[in-house]
Structure 1
Amino acid sequence: MSSRTDSEAAAAADTPHERPRWRRAVANTGLQVLAAACAAAVFGVLAPDAGAELKPLADAFIALVRLTIPPIVFLVVVTGIVSVGGMKTAGRIALKAVVYFEIVTTIGTLLGMAVINLVRPGDGVAPPAGASGDLDAYVEGAKDESISEFLLGLVPHNAVGAFAEGDIIQVLVFAILFAVALLQLPKAKSAPVLRGCGILADVFFRVIALVIRLAPVGVFGAVSYTVGAYGPEALTALMKYVGLALATLLVFLTLVLGTVTRVAGVSLVRLIRGLRPELVIVLGTSSSEAVMPHLMARLEQFGCKRDIVGLVVPTGYSFNLDGVAVTVPMSAVFIAQVYGVDLGLTDQITLFLVFLFLSKGTAGVTGSAFVTLANLIAAVNFIPVAGLALILSVERFLSLMRAVTNVLGNAVAAVAVARWEPDGIDRERFAETIARHRTPRR
């Protein structure tokens, strides 16, 4: 009781004049985006010609997003690789955790891509006549490229050129080389560089946070243009996609995480009940990182050892964001379907492999899924970047679903690794909290 009073007093001290609820709602970017999307949809239906002329608003917003992509990719990949390299001292636990993360997120990614290709909610939206020129800019570079040309294109001619031209694949290769070299330096020399990269990453994520404040303007232009030029079919496709993403995440939770918990001797339903306070916070903030300290403390209460929780959960926030793994590749393929870009098997494999690299390191940052999607589309270079604004119009709904899945995925990972480790869990406390109860036979 006293701790709650103290925290409330501290919060009151930080915000002496709390704004009314309606003002907080108006200031919420997610609600602003939702309102802008609804207003733009009505405007596009009532005045399609005028709506089709608002494309520059969306283009300007996307240009601001693309401005931050190369440095963000470089910084998060470097910090992610170097941080993982430091976990080698943890030995067996780290190996189990990383292998588990990669297997589960790979399954989630493949599940999402299989579902979006099977159902194809973006089909049936006929691109307007003026869109063909824009599409050529994305598709042309991937039409007649041989394997040797593709491999040579991975190597940047110089580091500055890769950033200046916005070639994300080349930036990624340079970041990997830089991180490996940094790992080979003595810690006394590498630590300041790593710390500097972390600080710069924070700066650029703050820049992207400032840009996201303009999202309502960009979404209004994008949705007005899409509805005015493409017709109301685009809105139907978006609603189908949101429903499909929700259904896919539910399948992932039931089949994949459900199987892991059964093998580990855990009741998934009881685990969800035990994490209700954290999940409520996630639903209120649309952010999985907002509950990371609470999640670690809760898992210790369930009986997981502190050293395992302290290793697995932070690593999971970089390697095991299951909601991101399922929905981000789905969003990329959905954009291609809406814009009429036919992704062949090679394109789909490239999308899958590039995502596995780019999804590491952006975790734990608000809006990381959208940043990862932007990085992914910019890297593969055969999906229209303009489609980002279309996804942003429903990002609020996707973010809620992803965040809940992310928290549950990391909780399951920590419990599973602790369960499979010798003395990794307090069995009595575990049995009283989330273990499967078996009624003894008489």
Structure 2
Amino acid sequence: MSSTAIGEAAEATTPPPAPRWRRLVTNTSFQVLVAAIAAAIFGIVAPEAAATLQPVAKAFIALIQMLIAPIVFLVMVTGIVAAGGMKTVGRIAVRALIYFEVVTTIGMLIGLAAVNLLPPGLGVAPPAHASGELSSYVSGGAKDNSFGAFLLKMVPDNAVNAFASGSIIQVLIFAVIFAIALLRLPDTISRPIVDGCAKLSEIFFRMIRMIMLLAPIGTFGAVAATVGKYGPETLTALMKLVGVSALALAIFVVVILGGVCAMAGFSLWRLIKVLRKELAVVLGTSSSEAVLPQLMERLEQVGCRRSVVGLVVPTGFSFNLDGVAVVIPICVVFIGQVYGIPLTFGDQLTLFLVFLVLSKGTAGISGSAFITLANTVAATSLVPIAGLALVLSVDRFLSLIRALTNVLGNAVATVVIARWEPGGLDRELAARTIGLSRPKVVQGETQ
């Protein structure tokens, strides 16, 4: 058979590309958007029925959370072994923690500036009494907020319990110790274990992709329950607080994260386009944890090495919550404004220092952002605890913009740290996916 005939036969057997409408309908981002719109309408039309759908959203997020601890462990172990030694791991960790502290500090300063320049609490009536839902947060945050207690929470007293409770920090510590032990064993013993971890991680990521098919259902339950429970008027309640928080977060993303991306030589907009499916799920569920495993996989596809992704992303979800760093100070000062309690520069400096510690102590806990807020209010005693009821009424909407910023902030951090790390970033792949600037070549040499 001639080459022409073979080509014609191949063309005849190759299926035509799917129509654009079919690709759109099967796109997860489009499905999540349609589900959110339909859920909002359903919540308005049948609020009582919609309010009962909260378990649907919680079940979807629980399915994701079920796999987070093992995925973090497996990716961390294989990443540390791939890095080649603890010297490399230590260098990545130190760079990551320095980056996290600098960026979250800038986020806090932006939040404080926004709430002082555009005081959202003026003209808002104080709540008559705290919400019944408030007691669980306040009591949960009133136990022991000392730095020593925080350190004790980091160290797992039971390896199985670290996985069962989903404590990311404890799983990270266990994974680091496990990986160090592997590095000290002969290759004949360690290699099969590392290969097994790599194969297991593939299985868990496949499970995540299967669960993500349910994302539109989870989104429908979350949005319908919110609108049904609080009513459409919630969309306009306390819009000053939500608006100032959204403005501060937008400035943080555009100016700070955008500036960091520009200095690192890649495009923030291109990175957002790459992460659009993950961000759509966050938009629907208001949970950053719902996309942690997918984010790790996506950043590897962007060009970040597993040794960097496995260490930076899980650590970032505990220490680099940019959205929380911006919004929590706004909420505390907002409560003071509502009650007519002006916070001086010294008060806000105290708030700043207390938050730096407490924001780490509740990382990885469900509803950790509001728990952090309750802890901060209780520890500083600057504003009445009853004022938390006001924030709780709109926390669903605040959590949405916080989660989006958290995910995007950790994605930027991972790419930046991978760029710093020798061999941490596949530059050719990153140039194609996120517009990483290529190094200049002079006389055949890379500068």
Shorter-normalised TM range: 0.5 to 0.7
2:271 partner amino acid: L
CA contact (8 A) 2:317 2:363 kept: yes
CA contact (8 A) 1:113 1:329 kept: yes
1:415 partner amino acid: V
Summarize the Cα distance change of 1:292–1:177 in structure 2 as closer, same or farther, 3 Å threshold: closer
Residue deviations 1:248-297 (CA, integer Å, cap 9, x gap): 11000011000110011110000000000101111111000100000000
Whether 1:27 aligns to 2:90 is no
Summarize the Cα distance change of 1:428–1:436 in structure 2 as closer, same or farther, 3 Å threshold: closer
CA contact (8 A) 2:332 2:377 kept: yes
Whether 1:95 aligns to 2:94 is yes
Deviates more, 1:246-255 or 1:429-438: 429-438
Residue deviations 1:32-69 (CA, integer Å, cap 9, x gap): 9xxxxxxxxxxxxxxxxxxxxxxxxxxxxxxxxxxxxx
2:121 aligns with: 122
Summarize the Cα distance change of 1:290–1:177 in structure 2 as closer, same or farther, 3 Å threshold: closer
Following TM superposition, by how much is the alpha carbon of 1:200 offset from its aligned partner in structure 2, in angstroms? Answer: 6.6
Residue deviations 1:344-403 (CA, integer Å, cap 9, x gap): 222111111111111114333332111111111111122111111111111111111111
CA contact (8 A) 1:30 1:396 kept: no
CA contact (8 A) 1:88 1:94 kept: no
Residue deviations 1:166-203 (CA, integer Å, cap 9, x gap): 866x6414415756xx9xxxxxxx6535765776787x
For 1:236 and 1:284, locate their aligned partners in 2 and report how far apart those are by CA, in whole Å: 19
2:186 aligns with: none
1:97 partner amino acid: A
Summarize the Cα distance change of 1:357–1:198 in structure 2 as closer, same or farther, 3 Å threshold: farther
CA contact (8 A) 1:331 1:391 kept: yes
Following TM superposition, by how much is the alpha carbon of 1:428 offset from its aligned partner in structure 2, in angstroms? Answer: 1.1
Q: The residue matched to 1:192 in structure 2 has which SS?
A: coil
CA contact (8 A) 2:141 2:372 kept: no
- Pairs within 5 Å for 1:177-326: 178=152, 191-192=156-157, 238-326=238-326
Give the fraction of aligned pairs with identical amino acids, expressed as a percent: 55
Q: The residue matched to 1:91 in structure 2 has which SS?
A: helix
For 1:323 and 1:246, locate their aligned partners in 2 and report how far apart those are by CA, in whole Å: 10
CA contact (8 A) 1:109 1:329 kept: yes
Q: The residue matched to 1:373 in structure 2 has which SS?
A: helix
2:105 aligns with: 106
Summarize the Cα distance change of 1:362–1:191 in structure 2 as closer, same or farther, 3 Å threshold: closer
Show structure 2 runs of 5+ residues with no match: 1-27, 29-41, 58-75, 131-137, 168-224, 441-447
Residue deviations 1:132-155 (CA, integer Å, cap 9, x gap): xx9xxxxxxxxxxxxxxxxxxxxx
CA contact (8 A) 1:308 1:424 kept: yes
1:392 aligns with: 392
Summarize the Cα distance change of 1:300–1:127 in structure 2 as closer, same or farther, 3 Å threshold: closer
For 2:235 and 2:291, locate their aligned partners in 1 and report how far apart those are by CA, in whole Å: 33
For 1:192 and 1:366, locate their aligned partners in 2 and report how far apart those are by CA, in whole Å: 21
1:117 partner amino acid: N
1:292 partner amino acid: L
Q: The residue matched to 2:428 in structure 1 has which SS?
A: helix
Q: The residue matched to 1:342 in structure 2 has which SS?
A: coil
2:434 partner amino acid: I
For 1:335 and 1:88, locate their aligned partners in 2 and report how far apart those are by CA, in whole Å: 46
Summarize the Cα distance change of 1:92–1:123 in structure 2 as closer, same or farther, 3 Å threshold: same
1:349 aligns with: 349
Q: The residue matched to 2:362 in structure 1 has which SS?
A: coil
Whether 1:172 aligns to 2:171 is no
Residue deviations 1:391-425 (CA, integer Å, cap 9, x gap): 11111111111111111000000000001111111
Summarize the Cα distance change of 1:366–1:177 in structure 2 as closer, same or farther, 3 Å threshold: closer
Residue deviations 1:8-31 (CA, integer Å, cap 9, x gap): 9xxxxxxxxxxxx87883224599
Summarize the Cα distance change of 1:116–1:198 in structure 2 as closer, same or farther, 3 Å threshold: farther
For 1:279 and 1:247, locate their aligned partners in 2 and report how far apart those are by CA, in whole Å: 18
For 2:142 and 2:261, locate their aligned partners in 1 and report how far apart those are by CA, in whole Å: 41
For 1:315 and 1:376, locate their aligned partners in 2 and report how far apart those are by CA, in whole Å: 22
For 1:242 and 1:407, locate their aligned partners in 2 and report how far apart those are by CA, in whole Å: 19
**CA RMSD of the aligned region, Å?**
4.0
- Pairs within 5 Å for 1:70-89: none
1:211 aligns with: none
CA contact (8 A) 1:282 1:291 kept: yes
CA contact (8 A) 2:156 2:162 kept: no
For 2:388 and 2:398, locate their aligned partners in 1 and report how far apart those are by CA, in whole Å: 13
2:283 partner amino acid: L
2:365 aligns with: 365
For 2:413 and 2:362, locate their aligned partners in 1 and report how far apart those are by CA, in whole Å: 19
CA contact (8 A) 1:320 1:406 kept: yes
Whether 1:408 aligns to 2:405 is no
For 2:86 and 2:379, locate their aligned partners in 1 and report how far apart those are by CA, in whole Å: 30
1:274 partner amino acid: V
Summarize the Cα distance change of 1:305–1:381 in structure 2 as closer, same or farther, 3 Å threshold: same
Show structure 1 runs of 5+ residues with no match: 1-7, 9-20, 33-82, 135-162, 183-189, 203-214, 224-231
